[in-house]
Amino acid sequence: MKKGNPIALLPIGVFLGIYLGLGLLFEYGMKIPMGFYNVPIIIAFLAAILVACLQNRSLSFDEKLSVMGQGVGDKNIITMLLIFLTAGAFVGVVGRSSAQSVAYFLLDMIPAQYAVAVLFVVACFVSTAMGTSVGTITLLTPIAVEVSQAAGFAAPLCVASVMGGAMFGDNLSFISDTTIAACNGQGCAMKDKFRGNFFIALPAAICALVLILVCSSMSGTAAVFSGNYDLILILPYLLVLVGGIVGINVFVVLLAGIASGALIMLLTGQIEAIHLLSAMGTGAAGMFETSMVAILVAAMCSLIRVYGGFDALLSFIRRAFHGNKGGQLGMGLLVGAMDIATANNTVAIVMANPIAKEMSRDYGISPKRAACILDTFSCIFQGVIPYGAQMLVAISACAEMGLTISAFQIMQYLFYPYLLLISSLFAIFLMNEKKAAV
């Protein structure tokens, strides 16, 4: 084993100092709305890479560029980037009106006393189909506020139900950036990760649904607001979801989703033909920052690995965690800590990927279990931190509806992330995991 060099981890510390420090200053010191997300994450990573380039004088600058190029040129990184862009194009073509269609359809069909449970179920489905928790929360929070006002349910409970369901899909969706990052980073098929992850997420979702039903049964049930819906709009999402589950290549599934979505959107008059390519480009452009972060993290981690930083970190992890189960817990806490620091579960997974891959070899953790742990634990922490995009978007959407609500009011009803943590720990310590072949 190579000798570890803790100083090689300095670039990560520089990134966290800039991003987390300025984020906390903007959000809580200067009271800037969405202040955490006014910090340019790409600039923070560029500063970290500059620090990495200034380290280790035994390598010339050209040699360091070669090391970074090898990291960026890795097959998994290229695959990840292509899936990011294709998934973005799919969402751009199909649009997001299907979320409201599903919500209004179920609210119209199911009795009012179950409206909060409906919000949770709809959020689970929509986020799994769309692959974005923030997008799901943006679309469904106004409906949650309307349900609260019309039926007399506690507003924090309604909003928290949407947030919990949104994190369910963020964790499981085949086109979620977290799933893409975790599976490609660990080298496992998405269908394998989904199947393993599903049996961890499902018990948590069922228990959360029961708790939501119990809490909502204590409130009034007047008539619930309803709206227009067109269920044909959800067909492309169902196609992608089913295709992913049965194991069809993700590129084939996404291209089929784009083609069917384009056809449906044109036939239903949702978009004009001249604007179709523009919508596709806009959707892909929405993935540019995530793609650039993946590139910069790959370059930075390549240098850190060569400098011996990962060996130092792994040495510490080996002393703190022992055995296969201890390694799984350590991996979950690693990505959780990175998520707390970055307030972005995709970035946390991308940063944790190379370290987690080394841990998988050392602790005999299979690629699909590693991908599952990274995605699940990042979603657990992202779903509850009060300064995460999901929480801030939900609060902002409530404010636009004339409702003032705090993060801590919502956090007490975030049943799903808390139960997902319990379910994940149960899976680690009470379920057998076959050692991966090294």
Is 254 in the same domain as 135? yes
DSSP 55: S
Q: What pLDDT does 2 receive? A: 52
Cα angle 66, 349, 192; round to 5: 105
Is 48 in the same domain as 88? no
Task: Give Cα 236 to chain centroid, integer Å.
Answer: 21
- Domain presence at residue 253: yes
Q: What is the pLDDT along the chain (438 residues), one digit of tens a residue?
A: 455 788 988 998 898 888 888 888 887 788 777 676 788 888 988 999 999 999 988 899 999 999 999 888 877 778 778 877 887 888 788 766 666 677 777 777 888 788 899 999 989 988 887 777 887 888 888 888 888 888 788 899 999 999 999 999 989 988 788 888 899 889 888 888 988 899 999 999 999 999 999 998 876 665 555 666 677 877 887 887 788 777 777 788 888 888 988 888 888 877 787 888 888 888 888 878 878 888 888 898 889 888 988 888 888 888 888 899 999 999 999 999 888 877 788 888 988 888 899 899 989 999 999 999 999 999 999 999 887 778 878 888 888 888 888 888 899 999 999 999 999 999 999 876 554 333
**Taking a C-beta distance cutoff of 8 angstroms, is the pair 229, 104 a contact?**
yes
- Domain presence at residue 437: no
Of 285, 319, 337, the position where a domain reaches its end is: 285
Q: What pLDDT does 205 receive? A: 96
**Taking a C-beta distance cutoff of 8 angstroms, is the pair 239, 250 a contact?**
no
**Taking a C-beta distance cutoff of 8 angstroms, is the pair 225, 108 a contact?**
no
First and final CA of the chain: distance in angstroms? 16
- Domain presence at residue 435: no
Give the count of alpha carbons within 13 A of 222, CB side only.
Answer: 10
Cβ atoms within 10 A of the Cβ of 114, count? 18
Of 285, 314, 349, the position where a domain reaches its end is: 285
Reference 162, options 177, 147, 172; nearest CA is 147
DSSP 386: T
Is 165 in the same domain as 46? no
Is 122 in the same domain as 186? yes
CA–CA gap between residue 20 and residue 5 (Å, rounded): 24
Q: What pLDDT does 109 receive? A: 80
- Domain presence at residue 115: yes
Q: What pLDDT does 199 receive? A: 92
Is 270 in the same domain as 331? no
- Domain presence at residue 149: yes
**Which residue range(s) make up the domain with 150?**
79-285
Is 259 in the same domain as 223? yes
Is 156 in the same domain as 302? no
**Taking a C-beta distance cutoff of 8 angstroms, is the pair 395, 43 a contact?**
no
Is 46 in the same domain as 151? no
CA–CA gap between residue 362 and residue 357 (Å, rounded): 9
The model's pTM: 0.78
Is 52 in the same domain as 159? no
Cβ atoms within 10 A of the Cβ of 257, count? 28
Is 150 in the same domain as 206? yes
Is 175 in the same domain as 258? yes
Task: Give Cα 289 to chain centroid, integer Å.
Answer: 15
**Taking a C-beta distance cutoff of 8 angstroms, is the pair 151, 177 a contact?**
no
DSSP 230: -
Q: How many domains does the chain have?
A: 2
CA–CA gap between residue 38 and residue 34 (Å, rounded): 7
Q: What pLDDT does 225 receive? A: 59
Q: What pLDDT does 434 receive? A: 52
Q: What pLDDT does 64 receive? A: 94
Collect contacts of 313-319 with beta carbons under 8 A, ≥24 apart: 313/4, 313/9, 313/355, 314/4, 314/355, 314/358, 314/359, 314/362, 315/4, 317/359, 318/362
Task: Name the H helices within 286-366.
Answer: 288-307, 309-320, 323-342, 345-363
**Taking a C-beta distance cutoff of 8 angstroms, is the pair 27, 36 a contact?**
yes
Q: What pLDDT does 1 receive? A: 44
Of 250, 285, 320, the position where a domain reaches its end is: 285
Reference 115, options 242, 257, 230, 212; nearest CA is 212
Is 258 in the same domain as 309? no
